[in-house]
Amino acid sequence: MVQQLNQFIQRYMPILTPLSLVIGVILEQIGSHFLFLVPILFAVMTFISSLSLKFRDIKVFKMYPKTILFVIAFLHILMPLWAYIIAELIFDDYLLTIGFILSVAVPTGVTSVIWVTISKGNLPLCLAIILIDTLLAPILMPLLLHIVVGETIHIETAALIIDLILMIVLPSFIGMFVNEWTKGELQKRYNQPFALISKLCLFGIIMINSSAIAPYVKNINAELALVIGTVLFVAVSGYFLALALGKLFLKSKADQATFIFNGGMRNIAVGVVIATTYFPSKVAMPVVFGMLFQQVLASIFFKITRT
């Protein structure tokens, strides 16, 4: 039953994700009362995702230091700069600019493991990138946000760092410790239930946080359509940049595939939490809509890498 439900959700993720957003907008008054649950749900997701990681994954850095630093620079320098340029050219709204930067400045997505695996990429490298990038999040994200918006909006940097540690770093360490302690047996035995819980947590985060952007989404207009279109453009261009740079600088096809999915996918849920917690609700618009295209684009670029 659990496996069938999990497979059903996995198959219809491209439909269920926007549906969760719509439900959250419709139930705006209810969702706003459950905002306190979002960091908890995210911490649970992070813990479950980290059950596949091991402390020795950090040691892979010694094997691929330049590649890992290259990916991190792409994630936290090149893509935020690109998103900033696009947002500034298209919109005259600093809140949306912040949202676009935040949508690409978050750590790489843990689900990239799935696509790296099926595309026969470098899995040890992928896991090392995810782990190192996740652990650096409390440093890189506040620093980038302070540089970009520090003079425009007051950011409680200390509180942001603490939240990132509680939502990402601490659950990651606990998950890795449990994985080491059980020698991976816990993840193997309860893989399907954990995967189901993780997906339900993601839907919960989307629905609850969608209540924050409900006032903007309910009024369907040209700006809303332009935001969604720009989110799609930034996401697609990010994948194409990763594809081009990977072929240009990385010799191994396995490393290229790893770079494409680590560079293209994001842990957008953490961006939604940060956007709704520390900024005006409009900032969350580009971040939330970024969830709509992740899996679809990953499947498209998987096919591209196979040609």
SS3 292: coil
At residue 260, the pLDDT reads: 94
The CATH topology of domain 32-306 is Na+/H+ antiporter like fold (1.20.1530)
Assess contact for 297 and 125: CB atoms under 8 A.
no
CB atoms within 10 A of CB 52: 18
pTM: 0.82
Q: Name which residue leads in pLDDT, 162 or 97.
A: 97
Query: Residue 115 is encoded by which pair of tokens?
Result: 């696509």
CA distances from 111 to 101, 108, 114, 142, 294 (A): 21, 9, 6, 23, 10
Whether residue 102 has pLDDT greater than 80: yes
Write out pLDDT tens, residues 261-298: 999 988 887 888 888 888 888 888 898 888 778 777 88
> How many helices (H) and strands (E) would you count in the chain?
18, 0
Write out pLDDT tens, residues 164-195: 888 888 888 898 899 889 888 888 888 888 88
In the block, which residue shows the tokens 């290259």? 70
Assess contact for 116 and 261: CB atoms under 8 A.
yes
The mean pLDDT of the chain is 84
Give the torsion sign (CA, 100, 106, 110, 112): positive
CB atoms within 10 A of CB 49: 23
Whether residue 151 has pLDDT greater than 60: no
Share of the chain above pLDDT 70, in %: 96
Query: Among 22-31, 116-125, 248-257, where is mean pLDDT lowest?
Result: 22-31
d(CA 44, CA 48): 6
SS3 52: coil
Assess contact for 107 and 137: CB atoms under 8 A.
yes
Share of the chain above pLDDT 90, in %: 23
Q: 256 falls in which pLDDT band (50, 70, 90)?
A: very high
In the block, which residue shows the tokens 């026969």? 120
CB atoms within 10 A of CB 36: 8
Query: Among 53-62, 133-142, 144-153, where is mean pLDDT lowest?
Result: 144-153
In the block, which residue shows the tokens 């911490």? 43
Q: 155 falls in which pLDDT band (50, 70, 90)?
A: low
Query: Among 77-81, 115-119, 127-131, 181-185, where is mean pLDDT lowest?
Result: 115-119
Q: 36 falls in which pLDDT band (50, 70, 90)?
A: confident
Query: Residue 211 is encoded by which pair of tokens?
Result: 């209540």
Whether residue 77 has pLDDT greater than 90: yes
At residue 59, the pLDDT reads: 80
At residue 88, the pLDDT reads: 93
- Using CB atoms within 10 Å of the CB of residue 92, give its burial: 0 to 12 exposed, 13 to 18 middle, 19+ buried: exposed
